[in-house]
Amino acid sequence: MNSQELKQQLYKRAEVLGVKEVKMIRAESLKDSPALYDNLMKILPQAKSLISFLLPFPKGCLHLLKDPQRTMPFYVRLAGLGARRLDEISIDLSMRLEEQGFLATPVFICTPLEMPKSYDLWGYLSQIDVAARSGLGWIGKNGLLTSPKYGPRVGLGTVVTDAVLEEDGPLNEKCPDDCSVCVEKCPAEALDGTGKVNRINCTMKQAIAPLTVMMMKEFSLKEHRDMIINLGAVDEHTWYRCNACVVQCPVGL
């Protein structure tokens, strides 16, 4: 099976799994960002390609998400189930590649996490950067992947593999110059309009993980920290308190 045939097979499998858009990028195309490329190599040193895909959130959810009294329990469920579905798809695509004799690994949504300093949580690989570089959209003024069709109301999945796949290339699009609604509506003042996010301001306003807080009190030693953030901040263990930059964005509506 040649590279193009494998790519088409993966497209078809992704479609069966409900993926709406999928793109591919060569690992070497990330070399212009040393940090991103180094993080990739730490995941799979043999990596040659990445598969990036998205699932949109139902637009009908936005009506409820704009209701401050009822939003968060609903969004917690939406985000939790969405993350699990994305991870399941990533595992499925990884197994398909390994059935063809390649190595592959999913990049999970909520874990593993690292916290170099308080409230500053980092995943092992930026799926937003990979998605933008692969052509699924662009990084918006809110720092999120913005799809021209769905806006920022999407979940992202990524698979890393040693298979050599033809890449698609980035989009030549960006947010409208005259739109800064996400910046204006951000209650944490975490956005500067360039796509950069004050991560600590955002995290402290955006979400709280009650299990993490309780376990930090019980297990205060530094060596317990990675265990705690990866057990207490996964899927529906996180209570979201803000999604203004997602709800307010007009792209994709």
pLDDT in tens, 184-210: 999 999 999 999 999 889 988 887 777
What's the confidence (pLDDT) of residue 203? 82
Q: How does the average pLDDT of the chain come out, rounded?
A: 88
Q: How far apart are CA 38 and CA 32, in angstroms?
A: 11
Percent of the chain past pLDDT 90, that is, above it, reads 62
Q: Using pLDDT thresholds of 50, 70 and 90, give the confidence band for residue 179.
A: very high
| pLDDT top residue among 227 and 90 | 90
Q: What angle do CA 111, 115, 121 make, to 5 degrees?
A: 60
Q: How far apart are CA 205 and CA 240, in angstroms?
A: 9
| Position 83 pLDDT exceeds 80 | yes
Active site residue 177: no
Say what the pTM is: 0.90
| Position 1 pLDDT exceeds 80 | no
pLDDT in tens, 9-29: 999 999 999 999 999 999 999
> Contact 186/244 with Cβ under 8 angstroms?
yes
Instruction: Identify the CA nearest to 112 among candidates 233, 204, 239.
Output: 233
| pLDDT top residue among 252 and 235 | 252
| Position 142 pLDDT exceeds 90 | yes
What's the confidence (pLDDT) of residue 114? 73
71-99 vs 3-16: helix crossing angle, rounded to 10: 140
Catalytic option among 129, 162, 168, 192? 129
Q: Give the start-to-end residue ranges of the domains of the chain.
A: 3-247
How far, in whole angstroms, is CA 163 from its chain's centroid?
22
